[in-house]
């Protein structure tokens, strides 16, 4: 008995090493190629967007007086220099539409999105000049911008594009206001942000409305929460409304992540020794109690059948969805175990005890990884229930006799009293 336990433990250790190697291979395939895939996704789809408010500037000529000392005498020099004056934003009315659109590369899903941006900004010309240069800095240089709108007081402006920004000039008389209307359609990755400024900025009469086509909204760190939220049939309508805001925070939205097939398959592989331990433990208890002979070689083939689940899952997720891959791998592994034990022990034991145990400890324990945050709880509950059941059914077992090789006495069917 002791030699058999040592042999089973050795098989378990070897299988655990194989799972560690498989898990490391999965993570290597996932993340070693991830950096290359990231750049490919950005180049074909677009980078994360960080939109800043447009800038209105007036360039004017002013006198500048400087004093110098020559031969011990002060000399005053006045010259005409140009200075740039930024006009403040009096009001902002912004509409943003975010549409999530996942893309898969290798073993990773990327949270890509389409964005429609529309903003109306009011500026007041408080200078003596009438030529105002309006500049809109694009959120990223690694993206495309379609249906670009750039008008001042509803009049189109001829644009120049330099260093990822569009600039147009319009005549605004001193003391008058101008409404700059900008808009575009683009594509981005992972998250979208609106940046008021690099440091603490003052924002007056600001209103942003954001519509999403996804319900799992999440806001990045150091961003402002909406002042109003309303759930719609397909997502959310969010609003940020401020009369006079002073803040160094931004407005942002993080795109929800899809279940990642590569990391999920890797975590399931690393957890596999726990599933096999429970299965071996239960098989050893049942066979010992019933006097069923399972040779260590039988345990070796059972471990190989378990390993086939993770091996098939690791290379199937490249081609089909993670749920389909999981279902196919589960059916294949369970079929291998039941069809093998049917020949070794019998169909009843293979389908009932072994099949049920494999379904619980391999399939259900592995499927718990699909529920983020509940995996540990599900495995803990399953472990405790297993311990309770085994303790109840083995409470009257004489383990000294079992390990000494004494087989249990066969159960004798009681003779009815009426037959005497």
pLDDT class for 333, splitting at 50, 70, 90? very high
Burial of residue 172 (number of CB atoms within 10 Å: 0-12, 13-18, 19+) = buried
For the chain, which residues make up each domain, given as ranges?
2-32+259-403, 48-254
Residue 49 CA to residue 52 CA, distance in Å, equals 10
Q: Using one digit for the tens of pLDDT, what is the confidence trace for 246-273?
A: 888 899 999 998 888 888 899 999 999 9
Report, as an integer, the average pLDDT of 209-222.
Answer: 92
pLDDT at residue 95 tops 80: yes
Sheet with 73-87: list strands edge to edge: 73-87, 55-70, 131-137, 165-171, 159-162
Report, as an integer, the average pLDDT of 241-246.
Answer: 89
CB burial readout 311-337, b (16+ within 10 A) else e: bbbbebbeeeebeebbeebbebbbebb
Q: For domain 48-254, which architecture applies?
A: Sandwich (2.60)
Dump strand ranges (E) for 27-107. 49-51, 55-70, 73-87, 89-100, 103-105
Q: Using one digit for the tens of pLDDT, what is the confidence trace for 61-90?
A: 766 767 776 666 777 766 766 778 889 899
């Amino acid at each position: 008995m002791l030699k058999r336990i040592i042999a089973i433990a050795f098989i378990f250790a070897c299988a655990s090493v194989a799972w560690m190697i498989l898990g490391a291979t999965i993570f290597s395939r996932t993340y070693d190629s991830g950096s290359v895939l990231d750049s490919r996704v950005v180049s074909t789809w677009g980078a994360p967007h960080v939109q800043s408010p447009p800038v209105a500037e007036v360039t004017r000529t002013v006198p500048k007086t400087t004093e110098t000392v020559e031969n011990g005498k002060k000399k005053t020099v006045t010259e005409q220099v140009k200075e740039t004056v930024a006009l403040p934003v009096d009001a902002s009315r912004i509409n943003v539409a975010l549409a999530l659109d996942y893309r898969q590369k290798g073993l990773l899903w990327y949270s890509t999105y389409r964005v429609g941006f529309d903003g109306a900004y009011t500026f007041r010309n408080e200078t003596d000049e009438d030529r105002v240069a309006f500049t809109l800095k694009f959120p990223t240089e690694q993206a495309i911008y379609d249906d670009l709108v750039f008008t001042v007081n509803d009049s189109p402006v001829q644009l120049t594009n330099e260093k990822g920004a569009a600039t147009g000039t319009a005549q605004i008389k001193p003391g008058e206001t101008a409404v700059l209307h900008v808009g575009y359609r683009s594509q981005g990755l992972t998250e979208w942000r609106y940046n008021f400024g690099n440091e603490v900025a003052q924002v007056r009469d600001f209103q942003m409305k954001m519509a999403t086509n996804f319900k799992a909204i999440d806001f990045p760190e150091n961003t402002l929460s909406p002042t109003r939220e309303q759930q719609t049939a397909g997502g959310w309508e969010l609003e940020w409304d401020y009369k006079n805001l002073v803040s160094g925070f931004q407005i942002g939205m993080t795109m929800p992540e899809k279940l990642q097939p590569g990391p999920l398959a890797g975590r399931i592989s690393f957890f596999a020794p726990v599933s096999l331990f429970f299965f071996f433990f239960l098989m050893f208890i049942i066979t010992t109690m019933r006097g069923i002979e399972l040779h260590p070689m039988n345990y070796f083939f059972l471990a190989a059948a378990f390993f086939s689940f993770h091996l098939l899952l690791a290379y199937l997720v490249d081609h089909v969805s993670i749920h389909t891959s999981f279902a196919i791998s589960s059916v294949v592994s369970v079929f291998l175990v039941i069809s093998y034990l049917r020949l070794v022990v019998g169909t009843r034991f293979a389908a009932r005890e072994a099949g049920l145990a494999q379904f619980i400890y391999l399939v259900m324990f592995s499927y718990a990884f699909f529920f983020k945050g509940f995996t540990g709880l599900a495995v803990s509950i399953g472990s405790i229930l297993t311990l309770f059941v085994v303790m109840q059914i083995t409470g009257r077992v004489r383990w000294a006799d079992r390990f000494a090789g004494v087989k249990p006495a066969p159960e004798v069917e009681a003779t009815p009293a009426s037959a005497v």
